Structure 1
Amino acid sequence: MSRPVIGITMGDAAGVGPEIIMKALRDPEIYAICKPLVIGDAKILQRAETFIHTGLHIKPIQNIDEAEFKFGIVECLDLNLLPPDIPFGQVSAKAGDAAFRYLEKAIELAKEGKIDAICTAPLNKEALHKAGHMYPGHTEILAELTNTKDFAMILSAPKLKVIHVTTHVGLKDAIDMINPNRVYKVIKLAHDILKKAGYSNPRIAVCGINPHAGENGLFGYREEEEKIIPAIKKAQQEGINAIGPLPADTVFYRAIRGDFDIAVAMYHDQGHAPVKVLGLEVGVNITAGLPFVRTSVDHGTAFDIAGKGIANELSMKEAIRQAVELTSKKI
């Protein structure tokens, strides 16, 4: 099988994105499984090289046809948007706009079939907003620019996968947004993506909203009965192996133990916290429902350590690997 082309967006140049990309691409295994193409600014990658010393050669290109995809050469589709001395660790409208433009270009290439998947380095939401791009994050940009209506964020770590009903909204807003139709669609997205990944009968655990999943109305205002149970019943009627609502304080332990293949979290912290406890360096973010594969590191721009050469690239390497795996299975 030919190696898929993975478009790696550089993210916010003031953060750790450029350096974790360079560190990841010094591993020959990455080139053995795919054709990595960085979409960003070549001079920012070159700046990263000055303090991490990978020994890689950075080659700016204007067209994918120029790429050779040989180990030792980092080919960058060079959008040339930023000055080479943009400060590390500072919120910048210029960097926020550039991060958006890198992703926009990657989406264009994916829609045209010129790259097989997108793998994103982190962007900074404040910088994105300063640049006038009022999105909560990568997922919402990807959905809007591909006209995708039904999508969800999956966090994947060894032994634990979590898909989210709501993500980047306040807790009160999240509870208001949860409804049977949305919960059903997320259960279905979870089922479909795992089926395509080779799971014969995906076991899906659905979290409750309240402590003890409401305990039959003892806690909360019957949100489980009104918002979640109808969705589970509909999914079960279609042959989907979903159970719940289950108490969130034990469901993730059970998933890690092997009882379930994926858990459906109702809101951001309910799903993010257990994955991140397992380690930021092993988590990967996947967007379900898009017309192409998109994976990402499961950490932010880390402004506090940007430019110091100490950022860990393991999540980036895992995100590239999962992009390759999912692309080969056409998820």
Structure 2
Amino acid sequence: MTQPLPVVISCGEPAGIGPEVAARAWAALAGEVPLVWLGDPAHLPEGVAHQVITQPQEAAGLSPDVLPVIARDFGSPAVAGQPDPAHAAHVIDMIALGVSLVRDGAASALCTAPIHKKALKDGAGFAYPGHTEYLAALGSVDEVVMMLASEQLRVVPATIHIALDQVPLQLTPARLRRVIEITHAGLQTQFGIKAPRLAIAGLNPHAGEGGTMGKQEDAWIAPLVAEMISEGFELSGPLPADTMFHAAARSRYDAAIAMYHDQALIPIKTLDFDKGVNVTLGLPFIRTSPDHGTAFDIAGRGIANPASMIEALKMAQKMAGSA
């Protein structure tokens, strides 16, 4: 029986909880998902048994009691809660290495631990707003989509980290169409859903209520949905966002397209705060990430919850099996 390719985990910010939750997820999964961690083994929590390897395929021959590590010397220890700009270039390199290993067929997927963008900018002149934009550049694609996913809900915000008053300006028919197209394709190729059902939220309260609470739904969102239905997409909407996320409503779609950040993230974090996974659709490789940050305030204390990392690793493996 062929050994499945491992999921590689980029270390993320060494001073945050990334190394801790990666190690705890590896221990909890107990071989359920083959893993290789990329980083400086000196930054792993004390006592984590590990084995340095040079290529992901070497992990298959190791005891399940040791964490396989492709090691890089970052040059100095990690101090919990205190990011060191001197580590920045190495953190960036581990992300690039993970992408390269997946694209070269040596690994099945990349799971990224959280980074600290200011440390990367201060220490290495990191020119990207975040992980996603850097991964898009590495994948040579212009447009990607952020999906938050759990067992209970998949949801995609059509606009992300912008002020609320900018949403109606940046939310255009062309943008929404591309978000729907990328989400549809990602559900087909990476989740194995042949005919994805997408629910499209309205922008305004009550989806505009016939123009009395906003004009965008009648002016262009509903016509765009109708146009794409005629092209073969299985869409519903625009729907009032306040009635889209109860259990019966969720059973009628495979993913929801929200119009802005909080409209998407509030329901999934309410339903499954600890187990939500960040998935980037539109890349030429599989990327997942736990849906949390570096959590400097609890780093190094041994109390970080690895649930989201566990789910991110399991989802990466499942997506690789559907690709």
The TM-score with structure 2 as length reference comes to: 0.91
Identify if the C-alpha distance between structure 1 residues 43 and 179 changes in structure 2 by more than 3 Å, giving closer, same or farther.
same
Aligned to 1:101: 93
Q: Are the counterparts in 2 of residues 91 and 126 from structure 1 also a CA contact under 8 Å?
A: no
1:128 correspondence with 2:110: no
Structure 2: which amino acid aligns with 1:101? D
Structure 2: which amino acid aligns with 1:11? G
CA offsets 1:21-68 (integer angstroms, 9 cap, x no match): 111111354x23x421111111101xx1x2xx5xx4222234445433
The 4+ residue runs of structure 1 with deviation greater than 6 A are none
Identify if the C-alpha distance between structure 1 residues 173 and 80 changes in structure 2 by more than 3 Å, giving closer, same or farther.
farther
Distance in 1 (alpha carbons) for counterparts of 2:72 and 2:226: 49
Distance in 2 (alpha carbons) for counterparts of 1:283 and 1:83: 33
Identify if the C-alpha distance between structure 1 residues 326 and 209 changes in structure 2 by more than 3 Å, giving closer, same or farther.
same
Match of 1:260, SS state, is coil
CA offsets 1:272-317 (integer angstroms, 9 cap, x no match): 1111112332111111111111111011111111000000111111
Distance in 1 (alpha carbons) for counterparts of 2:234 and 2:29: 40
1:87 correspondence with 2:87: no
Q: Are the counterparts in 2 of residues 255 and 261 from structure 1 also a CA contact under 8 Å?
A: no
1:199 correspondence with 2:200: no
CA offsets 1:146-202 (integer angstroms, 9 cap, x no match): 111232011001211101212223323333221112211221222223234233432
Aligned to 1:43: 42
2:203 aligned to which of 185, 200, 209? 209
When structure 1 is superposed on structure 2, of 257-266 and 192-201 the one drifting more is: 192-201
Q: Percent identity?
A: 37
Distance in 2 (alpha carbons) for counterparts of 1:316 and 1:98: 21
Distance in 1 (alpha carbons) for counterparts of 2:288 and 2:118: 21
CA offsets 1:116-175 (integer angstroms, 9 cap, x no match): 110111112332332321323221111111111232011001211101212223323333
Shift of 1:102: 1.3
In the alignment of these two chains, the number of paired residues is 319
Aligned to 2:262: 269
The unaligned stretches of length 5 or more in structure 1 are none
Distance in 2 (alpha carbons) for counterparts of 1:134 and 1:229: 37
Aligned to 2:111: 119
CA offsets 1:65-90 (integer angstroms, 9 cap, x no match): 54335311111111212411x32113
Shift of 1:7: 0.8
Q: Are the counterparts in 2 of residues 159 and 256 from structure 1 also a CA contact under 8 Å?
A: no
Q: Are the counterparts in 2 of residues 153 and 287 from structure 1 also a CA contact under 8 Å?
A: yes
1:309 aligned to which of 275, 291, 302? 302
Distance in 1 (alpha carbons) for counterparts of 2:89 and 2:268: 29
Aligned to 1:5: 6
Distance in 1 (alpha carbons) for counterparts of 2:84 and 2:259: 32
Q: Are the counterparts in 2 of residues 151 and 290 from structure 1 also a CA contact under 8 Å?
A: yes
When structure 1 is superposed on structure 2, of 267-276 and 17-26 the one drifting more is: 267-276
Q: Are the counterparts in 2 of residues 8 and 120 from structure 1 also a CA contact under 8 Å?
A: yes
Match of 2:27, SS state, is coil
1:73 correspondence with 2:72: no
Structure 2: which amino acid aligns with 1:22? A
Distance in 2 (alpha carbons) for counterparts of 1:256 and 1:37: 39
Identify if the C-alpha distance between structure 1 residues 173 and 257 changes in structure 2 by more than 3 Å, giving closer, same or farther.
closer
Q: Are the counterparts in 2 of residues 96 and 123 from structure 1 also a CA contact under 8 Å?
A: no
Distance in 1 (alpha carbons) for counterparts of 2:148 and 2:256: 10
The unaligned stretches of length 5 or more in structure 2 are none
Identify if the C-alpha distance between structure 1 residues 28 and 177 changes in structure 2 by more than 3 Å, giving closer, same or farther.
closer
Identify if the C-alpha distance between structure 1 residues 214 and 12 changes in structure 2 by more than 3 Å, giving closer, same or farther.
same
The TM-score with structure 1 as length reference comes to: 0.89
Distance in 1 (alpha carbons) for counterparts of 2:111 and 2:225: 32
